[in-house]
Structures are given as C-alpha cells and as structure tokens.
Chains A and B, each alone.
Chain A
Amino acid sequence: MSLLAKGILQGMAVTAKNFFQSYYKKDRLPTVQYPEEKSTVNQFTRNIPFLVFDGDDPIDGMRCTACTLCEKACPPQCIYIIKDKDENGKPIKRPAVFDIDSSVCMSCQLCVEVCPFESIRMDSEFELSNENRFEGLLLNRDELLRSNEYYHEIHPLEAQETDDRIVAKEAEAAAKKKEREEKARKAAEAKKAAAEKKAAEEATAAEEAAPATENKVAETEAPKAEAAPAETAPTAESPTEPEAKQADAAPEPKAEEETPEEPEKKE
C-alpha cells in the first residue's frame, strides 16, 4: 500500500461513476416508483384465474357452461360453482354462482388446463389487496368475468392460440355435422333405393340384387369420412394436441370425485 492508495482511488472512481450516471442513465437507476408508475407485466405472467366472455354482454357471451370440472380439479378447492336455472327450474349451461377465493388460490393453473371450453384463464393482475379480508378476497362471478379483448391485451400469444383452437373446433364440429347429415342423406337415399329396388324386385320376384347395392353404398362412403377431418387439420394442427390432453383429463376427475388430490398426482 503506497501513500496514494491506487486501489482505493479506483474503487472511488467506480462509485463516483455510479453516482453521477444515476442522474442521466436509465440503467443506473432502474427503480420504478410503484404507485405512480408501473413496470409492464410480462405477457407470460400468471396470477389468478378469470372467466372469459365473448362479445359485449358478459352474461350472454360467457364461455363457461358450469361443467364444474375446474371445481373438481382445484387442489386447494377454492372454486365454488352453482348451476343456473331458467324460470321453469330447468338447468341451463351457465353458472349462477362462480366464486374463487383469492386468499386460497395457489395459482397452479390446473383449472385452466382442465377447462374444455377455453373459459377459465389466468390473469396477470397483481394488485389484489383488499380492505375486507373475507368478502373482499372472495371474487364472485361478475368480478371474474373479463372480455376476450382483455385476454388478448394481457396474453396476446395465448389468446390468439385459444381463438384459433375455438375456430378449428367449430369447423370440426361443423364438418362432423355435415358428414353426419350426408351420411343420413345417403342412408335415406340407399333406403329409398333399396325400397324402390325391393318394390321392383317384388314386382319381378328376383331377390339377389339387393345386397349388391348396399355394398356399393358403403364403398362410396368410406373415403368421404376420411377426407372430412383432413380438411380442417392444417388450421388446427397445434391446438388439437392440448385438446386431446384435455379430453384425456376430463373424464378422470369425474371418475374420482372423492379424491381431490388426484390432479396433483397426475402431474
């Protein structure tokens, strides 16, 4: 150590640099003054579930059908659902009560994974503090409902994926319906033809012709049934995969209603 202490002076130059640059360089003073300014939340942030609705009206556009799969999947059992009924007392596919106790929720996202209707999703809202620790922390249906636009805003990538999947699902459903109608129509035609033939045969008293025509119909139908899903496949290649998972997951909690720990075991 010489008299001028070079090392100490070097250290002091470093701190002086920090001091002065903190006045004009952003990366030397990264503090965010929280209540006044907020840092942007990453779009992959997951915090607390919310319910997605389409369109403008939260009640009509609600995707949730009160299937209670999420209620059963929830490990800390913080979801509580009661099905809605119309004026005749007939149950309709909509929750009358959908509560999430945010003090219990552990943000595991199992409800999101289990939902077959793309209805429940994770929010990135982090200001959850409340003055009332009982009612205030219990989020009810109307507080949980958020528009699809909001979902697009907070998780753009995921929301787009979900929308694509819904479109694909609808297309698939439409194709299936069409196919079913076609089948029904073909069957009717075949029946008609068979009936006509039968009538003709009866008239001519020749019975061997009927099975041959039936085979012919089956042959023409088979390639069509294969072609129908192949049409929708390119648009929904990736979304079908998680869907398949959901389809697997869906029946399991139903089978084991008594054991709520089951979803964790699955992991």
Chain B
Amino acid sequence: MNNFIDHKIIELGHWVVGFFDEYPLLKLVVQILLYTLPLMLSFMGAFAFSTWLERKGLARIQNRPGPNRVGIFGLLQPMADGIKMLLKEDIVPEESDKLFHLLAPVMLMVPAMIAIGFLPVGDGLNALPLDSAILFFFAIGSMNTIAVFMAGWSSRNKYSLLGGMRAVAQMISYEIPLVLSAVTVIMIAGSLNGQVIVASQQISGWVGSGDVVKEFFGQILGWHIFKPWGFAGFIFFFVAALAEANRSPFDLPEADSEIIAGHLTEYSGFKYAIFFIAEYISAFAIAGIAVTLFLGGWSGPILSGLPWFVIKLFSLFAVMIWIRGTLPRLRVDQLMGYAWKFLMPLAILNIFVAGFYYFAEQQWGTWVALIGGWIFGFGALQLAAKGLSRLNKSPLLKGKRVYQYAE
C-alpha cells in the first residue's frame, strides 16, 4: 500500500486536533470543521474548475477556442463569472411564494453538500464514514427532487412549473434503475460502507503480496467495471446518474429551447449561482459514487489514493461533458419510456447476473465466473436489450425509418 498522501493528511488532522485536547467542546468544533471545510472548499474549487473544463471542452467539440481572455487559457473565467453573478440584481417575482423561492436553492445546496461527505475520497479519508453510507447517499440525493419542484412551484411561472413537473417525473423514474444497478455492487461487496466497497475491488491475494506486477494489477483488475455485471451496471448507473444530475441528454427540466430554463427561469443573481453550484456538486457526488461503486474508488497503482480518486472523478466528469457535446436532448415520452421500459428490466436482470457470478465464483473459482459471466451473463443482458428495444418499438415504425426532411 502506498497511500502516503492520504495517511499524511490524516496525521495532520490528528496533530491539529491534538492542540485542543484540554477543551473538549472546542475540540469537537475543530474536528467538525476539519472534516467538512476542506471537503466543501475543495469541491467548490472543483466546481470552478469544472465549469471552465466544460466550457472549454464543449467549445473545442464545436470548433471554437472557448474562454481565453481572463487569465492564462481563461482559467480565471469562473472567478469573473462569480463576480458577475454576485453583482447581478436578485429579482424575486411579485407573485411568487417568497419564502419557498428563497429556500429552494438552499434545499438543493444542502443535500449536495451532505452527499459529498459520503464519498471515500482516499484511504481512510471519509467525512461521514457511516456503515450505511450508500443508502444514505441515495436517500439524501433524492431530496434534490423536492428542491427542484419547490423552485418550480414557488416561482409562479408556467415554465418554471413545467420544469419542476418534468424534474419530478424524471428524477423519481431514474432513481429506480440507479439504485437497482448499485444493488449489484452492494450484493457482491456485502456492505453499504464505501471503504469496504473500495476494499472489495482490490484483489486481496495480490495486493500486499510484495510482487511488483501483482501489486500493480491487483489494484486495477479488481474493479467492478471489469466484471460482466459491473460493466452493464456501470452503463445503467451512469445513464441514470446523468438523468439524476439533470445533465444532457436528460436536461429536460431546464430545456432552454422548450421551457426557457425550467425551474431556473425566475432565478437570478446569486440564487441562480447557487443552483448552478449545487447542480455541479450533485453531478460530482453522483460521479464520485459511480467511481466508488464501479471504478475502484481510490484504489490504483503507484499514485496515492486521493490523486487516483480525483483523476477518476474528473475523467468521469469529462465523459459527461463529452456526452453533452454529442447527444441531443430526449423527448419527454422517450425519457420516461427509456427508464421504465428499458433500463429498469435490464437492471433487474443484472441483479440475477450478479447473483449468478457470485455463486459461480464461490463454486468454481474466479476464472470460471468471469468467463461464464461474460458469455452467459452479458449475453443474456445483450439479448434482453435487443428484445426490449424490439418490444418498445412503436408499431407505427415498421421497416426502415424514412426521414421526410433530413437526408
């Protein structure tokens, strides 16, 4: 194990807390601050960086240079944006429900901030190391729905309300495949604790054996994404996570071309900025959980745990940006149909594949389980996907689709 940075950070924390041994109350306050503040601040920094990353990435995909005026490569652009947002007038509609209009961004920000506490960002680095962390994460994460609906309803604007309704429908629908695909990992790891789940993705015989090659691959090949049910589960989880985080191609609640900005229509100034921040941090939190569940969390060779987690998190976020730059927005009926008629049955089937893998591993060993799982398990999922898409096809669309206007 070479999680040098992680252990040093924990040591530093203990050393700082050690100064307050004589004042128990103060010690508690310092402890809480040490657990929460660095996490919150670093995620705010990550938010700032990711807005820059998103704008740059989308620009490059669209053959533009993107922001490049403020600072080198436009890196200070988030700061300029923040100052602009702070200086903007905060407009509250006359007819709106003032209290809930004010509370909605707070309601969105708080669960986002709590959710990042459950992420095991390094070896032993976990702000809220609960035994039921994953369950709590999904419970807290579903509070987003209430906040978005609150924003939509309290604005007293038809577009806001439409956005809020869409958000409720979408988020509740996609929570089911999200949780069902996460269940597979919980089944295999046998725990809801993030650290245990990460540990289950290291090949126990190989890590710590002293052999350099085994040491290296033991921290990569154990990731759940390399297992048949994990690969499928990761796809389902990622798609559902995109919908949960309101990110393209599932950004229907704030579809600019249809309903202005959905629940954000009546928000301006710093309230809007808080919505923006909360959305990004929710996206980060859900990407972090995806990393923890399927991509091995902080485990990886050579580098320490914390850098590995950051690399994986940003890679996943980059894929989100890449998808945003590629795919057009879905229609509402397509969105709902995709969740209920396609993702959910497949996620349930995936649980059976994971069960098959689990017992095969116990019965005949890892290799048989892997090969059998990829051939039979993944094959069954593929067949089911084909069958479902044929079943879901509209009866009006027989044969090859003919486009009236597009070439």
**Chain A interface (Cβ < 8 Å from any Cβ of B):** 1-4, 8, 11-12, 14-16, 18-19, 22-23, 28-31, 33
- Nearest-neighbour CB distance to chain A for B241, whole angstroms, equals 16
Among the 9-residue stretches B7-15, B87-95, B162-170, B382-390, the one with 4 or more Cβ atoms under 8 Å from chain A is B382-390
Cα distance A66–B60 when bound, in Å? Answer: 55
Do B326 and A11 touch (CB < 8 A)?
yes
Known: A2-B386, A14-B326, A29-B65. 15 other contacts (CB 8 A): A1-B342, A2-B382, A2-B389, A3-B232, A3-B382, A3-B385, A8-B326, A12-B322, A16-B322, A18-B60, A18-B61, A29-B60, A31-B64, A31-B65, A33-B65
CB-nearest residue of chain A to B385: A3
- Nearest-neighbour CB distance to chain A for B334, whole angstroms, equals 11
| Chain A residues whose C-beta falls within 8 Å of the C-beta of B65 in the assembled complex | 29, 31, 33
| Chain B residues whose C-beta falls within 8 Å of the C-beta of A2 in the assembled complex | 382, 385-386, 389
Do B64 and A15 touch (CB < 8 A)?
no
| Chain B residues whose C-beta falls within 8 Å of the C-beta of A4 in the assembled complex | 382
- Nearest-neighbour CB distance to chain B for A100, whole angstroms, equals 35
Q: List 18 A-B contacts (CB under 8 A).
A: A1-B342, A2-B382, A2-B385, A2-B386, A3-B385, A11-B327, A12-B323, A15-B322, A15-B326, A18-B60, A18-B63, A19-B57, A19-B60, A19-B325, A22-B63, A28-B63, A30-B63, A33-B65
Decide if B235 is an interface residue (CB 8 Å cutoff): yes
With most chain B CB atoms within 10 A of its CB, the pick from A3, A15, A19 is A3
| Chain B residues whose C-beta falls within 8 Å of the C-beta of A16 in the assembled complex | 322
CB-nearest residue of chain B to A22: B60
With most chain A CB atoms within 10 A of its CB, the pick from B63, B322, B327, B385 is B63
| Chain A residues whose C-beta falls within 8 Å of the C-beta of B132 in the assembled complex | none
Decide if B108 is an interface residue (CB 8 Å cutoff): no
- Nearest-neighbour CB distance to chain B for A13, whole angstroms, equals 9
Do B385 and A1 touch (CB < 8 A)?
yes
| Chain A residues whose C-beta falls within 8 Å of the C-beta of B68 in the assembled complex | 33
Decide if B209 is an interface residue (CB 8 Å cutoff): no
Decide if B62 is an interface residue (CB 8 Å cutoff): yes
- Nearest-neighbour CB distance to chain A for B19, whole angstroms, equals 49
| Chain A residues whose C-beta falls within 8 Å of the C-beta of B61 in the assembled complex | 15, 18-19
Do B63 and A29 touch (CB < 8 A)?
yes
CB-nearest residue of chain A to B325: A15
Decide if B381 is an interface residue (CB 8 Å cutoff): yes
| Chain A residues whose C-beta falls within 8 Å of the C-beta of B64 in the assembled complex | 29, 31
| Chain A residues whose C-beta falls within 8 Å of the C-beta of B60 in the assembled complex | 18-19, 22-23, 29
- Nearest-neighbour CB distance to chain A for B317, whole angstroms, equals 15
A-B pairs with lowest CB-CB distance, top 9? A3-B385, A1-B389, A15-B326, A19-B60, A15-B61, A22-B60, A11-B326, A12-B326, A15-B325
Cα distance A1–B322 when bound, in Å? Answer: 20
| Chain B residues whose C-beta falls within 8 Å of the C-beta of A8 in the assembled complex | 326-327
Do B322 and A3 touch (CB < 8 A)?
no
Cα distance A3–B234 when bound, in Å? Answer: 12
**1/0 contact string of B214-250 vs chain A (CB within 8 Å):** 0000000000000000001001000000000000000
| Chain A residues whose C-beta falls within 8 Å of the C-beta of B326 in the assembled complex | 8, 11-12, 14-15
| Chain A residues whose C-beta falls within 8 Å of the C-beta of B323 in the assembled complex | 12
| Chain A residues whose C-beta falls within 8 Å of the C-beta of B62 in the assembled complex | 18
Do B381 and A3 touch (CB < 8 A)?
yes
Cα distance A177–B101 when bound, in Å? Answer: 90
- Nearest-neighbour CB distance to chain B for A29, whole angstroms, equals 6
**1/0 contact string of B346-378 vs chain A (CB within 8 Å):** 100000000000000000000000000000000
| Chain B residues whose C-beta falls within 8 Å of the C-beta of A29 in the assembled complex | 60, 63-65
CB-nearest residue of chain A to B342: A1
CB-nearest residue of chain B to A29: B63
CB-nearest residue of chain B to A10: B326
CB-nearest residue of chain B to A16: B322
CB-nearest residue of chain A to B386: A2
Do B325 and A3 touch (CB < 8 A)?
no
Cα distance A11–B322 when bound, in Å? Answer: 10
CB-nearest residue of chain A to B59: A22
Cα distance A15–B327 when bound, in Å? Answer: 10
Do A3 and B235 touch (CB < 8 A)?
yes
| Chain A residues whose C-beta falls within 8 Å of the C-beta of B63 in the assembled complex | 18, 22, 28-31
Cα distance A2–B379 when bound, in Å? Answer: 11
Cα distance A18–B385 when bound, in Å? Answer: 31
- Nearest-neighbour CB distance to chain B for A82, whole angstroms, equals 47
| Chain A residues whose C-beta falls within 8 Å of the C-beta of B389 in the assembled complex | 1-2
Cα distance A31–B346 when bound, in Å? Answer: 45
Cα distance A33–B63 when bound, in Å? Answer: 14
CB-nearest residue of chain A to B231: A3
CB-nearest residue of chain A to B384: A3
| Chain A residues whose C-beta falls within 8 Å of the C-beta of B386 in the assembled complex | 2
Cα distance A2–B388 when bound, in Å? Answer: 9
- Nearest-neighbour CB distance to chain A for B60, whole angstroms, equals 5
